Amino acid sequence: MNTLRRLRNLWIPCVTTIVLGCFSDAVAQVRYHVEDLGTLEDGFFGCTMGVNNHGWTETQYGLLEAGKLLKGRVAINFDGFTFPLPTLGGPNNWDNPFGGEINDRGEAVGFSETDVLDPNGEDVCGFGTHLTCSAFLWRKGNMSALPTLGGNNGQATAINNRGQITGFAETAVSDSSCSASSPSKIHSPVIWEDGKARPLHTVGNDPDGVGNAINDQGQAVGSSGTCGGATIHAVLWEKNGTAYSLRDLGTAGAAAFGINNQGQIVGLVPSLDGSTIYAALWQNGANGKVTNLGTLGDFAAIASGINNKGQVVGSTLDSTFNFDAHAFIYQDGVMSDLSTLFPAESNLFPTMANQINERGQIVGMATVLSGPHEGETHAFLATPVDERIDKSIADVAPTHPKSNLPANVGKQLLQRFRLGHPQ
């Protein structure tokens, strides 16, 4: 099986994006204050997925065994306080890695298990419980379920500052592109507004889709394709709901994960021969060309966040599709390894960058380098400050630190967040 097909079959990721707030020729002058957001409980890992312009973050905390996610909880972090969000009746809730899960009003989105078994035996939340999975909105201290399109399950991925939400919702129609051993309903890309679900078109004959990000103009981006991700197309939805397929490098398999208010879009795109996955930038909407941002020399890269200054953050993957290679920031035509910009005293080696706000604050996950928590995976918030770096993480940790996450956790996370649903 070629590398592109493997990535398609493992689709959408937990994770990537990281950025600084300075020019590339001044990188050595940038210093980050790095806040370790830790883990929720012993044995959990932490990964921050979203950050608003106040520096409030939405973080997922999970427990893994044998590479499988057994428990998960979403929490809001602000002013040094961590507040776990309630569920919708089931034991777990979670969020998706791309898009922007918390807006400037402190409204947050994600998905939660309910206390009702799925009548079709589906496991859309992915915890192995086969409970129904509902998209949620957290607003003013209240957790509410978002409606589907006639099916039993849904997931919310991003919310803009107007309160528009994107993700996917199930219909009542069986998905013929799924295998007989894993039946499922069609997953329709959707925008929720004023408590109502508005379905979005897919491109071509694709039955399934997901909205991954939405800007303040109401433009959304994501992917459409078939069950299990055997076919994937990057998609832009304009404010009127019209769907456009974004350009690739000649091989299908591109996906879009972030969009800023200028309409610049980031994601990933395969090479022409399908051997490499590049971080990607699209400009000028559906008519614009795609720019290959590179991979930092690693096997694959995913750009997951972009702010209105055009700073891009993301992550690279190794040849086994694990998110434990490098977090990066791309600006002024240069992709930089985030670990070279973290001060040594932070004691964290960044392995994943997921989002960047207008202040240049970056969130993601990192490996603890030393001390009683050595090897643990912690969530972080990195804030740029105007000081010179005397020593960076790269100076004291020239080789990649060993993480306590299972070797195949990247595959598990990719499976959880791929387009569509399992074959």
Mean pLDDT to the nearest integer, 33-47: 93
Confidence of residue 12 (pLDDT cuts 50, 70, 90): very low
Among candidates 420, 415, 423, 365, which has minimal Cα distance to 127? 415
Mean pLDDT to the nearest integer, 191-207: 95
Q: Is residue 421 part of a domain?
A: no
Question: Could you tell me the residue range of the domain that residue 33 belongs to?
Answer: 3-416
Q: Is residue 147 part of a domain?
A: yes
Q: Is residue 247 part of a domain?
A: yes
Q: How many residues does the chain have?
A: 423
In the predicted structure, residue 224 carries a pLDDT above the cut 70 = yes
Return the bridge partners of 365, or none.
Answer: 352, 379
Q: Is residue 142 part of a domain?
A: yes
Task: List the single range of 22-26, 181-185, 254-258, 334-338 with lowest mean pLDDT.
Answer: 22-26
Express each pLDDT in 93-120 by its tens digit: 999 877 789 999 999 999 999 999 999 9
Predicted local distance difference test score (pLDDT) of residue 3: 36
In the predicted structure, residue 206 carries a pLDDT above the cut 80 = yes
Chain CA centroid to CA 387, Å: 30
Domain count, the chain: 1
Predicted local distance difference test score (pLDDT) of residue 421: 54
Rounded distance, CA 221 to CA 395, Å? 38
Contact 148, 116 (CB under 8 A): no
Contact 216, 224 (CB under 8 A): no
Beta strands in 215-344 (DSSP E): 220-225, 232-237, 243-245, 255-259, 265-270, 277-282, 290-294, 300-306, 312-317, 327-331, 334-337
Q: Is residue 422 part of a domain?
A: no
Chain CA centroid to CA 118, Å: 25
Predicted local distance difference test score (pLDDT) of residue 20: 27
Predicted local distance difference test score (pLDDT) of residue 323: 61
Q: Is residue 164 part of a domain?
A: yes
Q: Is residue 276 part of a domain?
A: yes
Predicted local distance difference test score (pLDDT) of residue 123: 93
Mean pLDDT to the nearest integer, 317-328: 77
Predicted local distance difference test score (pLDDT) of residue 171: 97
Share of the chain above pLDDT 70, in %: 86
CATH code at position 298: 2.130.10.150
pTM, to two decimals: 0.89
In the predicted structure, residue 127 carries a pLDDT above the cut 70 = yes
Confidence of residue 62 (pLDDT cuts 50, 70, 90): very high
Contact 197, 149 (CB under 8 A): yes
In the predicted structure, residue 138 carries a pLDDT above the cut 80 = yes
For the chain, the average pLDDT equals: 86
Q: How many helices (H) and strands (E) does the chain have?
A: 3, 28
Mean pLDDT to the nearest integer, 80-98: 93
Q: Encoding tokens for residue 305?
A: 């966040």
Residue 340 φ/ψ, nearest 5 degrees: -75, -10
Rounded distance, CA 366 to CA 315, Å? 11
Q: Is residue 423 part of a domain?
A: no
Can you tell me which residue has the tokens 């998706």? 96
Mean pLDDT to the nearest integer, 254-282: 94
In the predicted structure, residue 14 carries a pLDDT above the cut 60 = no
